[in-house]
């Protein structure tokens, strides 16, 4: 497998990054995950715009790592054996002697590779979740690789026999550790507003568009913990999981414990749309 590293295409086994790279030392780095369907990166422009926004938010100077991402993405997407998978893109603040302050003019480290889809998209399948305190920082809108909190939260979910951790801050369920959250509460479909407490998911945006097209009204308001536990349906969205129903939270069935009608409509619309 060839990976892209700082302008070169290198076999993954021989690609090397400095031990002084700030991505390694500080987690001083941002990333993107872009789904690919039929060799075509899905919503590429939105993902690249978010990568740029993440870089701007952390003060990374694009001129220190010029790259034409659409060409890199196209070449990576071409290599996927079945045409389906994900692209991973990462930009770090480069290698420099260890001090917290930004290094002067260190070239950014640019890395990308393609990962074939290992199984069918989980969209049809249901998943289970637990509720956890949101232990992350207050800039969840930046897609940074400083993911230790998310790693711990996912591990907590797995250790309790669930797939995803739904994160609660000030009694509001804002998003999951690796996904955005939607809940059907009464007659309303709720999802947290796009602000610094969530990663503004590209899949979330697509689902909002599809919901509008289907006449499903969405209120951008994070459900409270009580609203979520009374929800008739809960589903999560994300680049690798597409739209996935959550059928149990903390062991308790959501609604009747099966994916519900709102999920089914949006899931079906997503399957058609992505083609």
Residue closer to ligand PDD by CB (options 175, 227) is 175
Binding to ligand PDD (CB under 6 A) within 161-220 occurs at 175, 178-180, 199, 201-204
Both tokens assigned to 228? 């979520």
* Shortest Cβ 146–ligand PDD spacing (Å): 12
Both tokens assigned to 195? 């602000």
* Shortest Cβ 234–ligand PDD spacing (Å): 15
Interface region with ligand PDD, contact rule CB under 6 A, candidates 104-112, 151-159, 223-231, 237-245: 237-245
Count the neighbouring beta carbons within 10 Å of the beta carbon of residue 164: 25
Give the angle 32-37-38 at the CA atoms, nearest 5°. 135
Binding to ligand PDD (CB under 6 A) within 78-117 occurs at none
Residue closer to ligand PDD by CB (options 239, 247) is 239
Number of H helices, E strands in the chain: 7, 15
- Asked if 127 is part of the footprint of ligand PDD (rule: CB under 6 A), the reply reads no
> Which residue is listed with tokens 């800039």?
139
Residue closer to ligand PDD by CB (options 92, 179) is 179
Alpha-carbon gap, residue 185 to 230, rounded angstroms: 7
Binding to ligand PDD (CB under 6 A) within 4-63 occurs at 33
- Asked if 238 is part of the footprint of ligand PDD (rule: CB under 6 A), the reply reads yes
* Shortest Cβ 125–ligand PDD spacing (Å): 17
Count the neighbouring beta carbons within 10 Å of the beta carbon of residue 129: 27
- The set of residues, in sequence order, having a beta carbon less than 8 Å from that of 193 and lying 6+ positions away, is 220, 221, 222
Judge contact between 97 and 20, C-beta under 8 A. yes
Residues designated as active site: 143
* Shortest Cβ 140–ligand PDD spacing (Å): 6
Contact set with ligand PDD (CB under 6 A): 33, 175, 178-180, 199, 201-204, 237-240
């Amino acid at each position: 497998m060839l990976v892209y590293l700082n302008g070169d295409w290198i076999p993954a086994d021989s690609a090397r990054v400095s031990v002084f790279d700030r991505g390694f030392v500080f987690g001083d780095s941002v990333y993107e995950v872009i789904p690919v369907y039929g060799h075509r990166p899905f919503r590429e422009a939105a993902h690249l715009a978010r990568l740029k926004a993440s870089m701007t938010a952390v003060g990374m100077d694009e001129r220190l790592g010029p790259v034409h991402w659409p060409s890199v993405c196209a070449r990576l997407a071409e290599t996927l054996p079945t045409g389906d998978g994900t692209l991973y893109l990462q930009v770090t603040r480069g290698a420099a002697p260890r001090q917290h302050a930004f290094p002067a003019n260190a070239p950014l480290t640019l890395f990308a590779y393609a990962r074939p889809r290992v199984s069918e998209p989980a969209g049809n399948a249901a998943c289970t979740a637990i509720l956890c305190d949101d232990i992350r920082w207050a800039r969840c809108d930046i897609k940074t690789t400083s993911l230790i909190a998310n790693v711990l939260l996912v591990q907590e979910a797995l250790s309790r026999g669930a797939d995803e951790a739904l994160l609660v801050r000030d009694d509001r369920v804002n998003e999951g550790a690796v996904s955005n959250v939607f809940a059907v509460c009464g007659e309303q479909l709720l999802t947290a507003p796009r602000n610094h407490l969530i990663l503004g998911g590209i899949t979330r945006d697509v689902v909002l568009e599809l919901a509008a097209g289907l006449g499903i009204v969405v209120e951008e308001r994070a459900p409270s913990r009580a609203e979520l536990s009374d929800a008739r349906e809960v589903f999560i969205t994300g680049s690798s999981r597409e739209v996935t129903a959550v059928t149990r939270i903390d062991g308790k069935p959501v609604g009747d414990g099966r994916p519900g009608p709102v999920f089914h409509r949006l899931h079906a619309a997503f399957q058609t749309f992505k083609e």
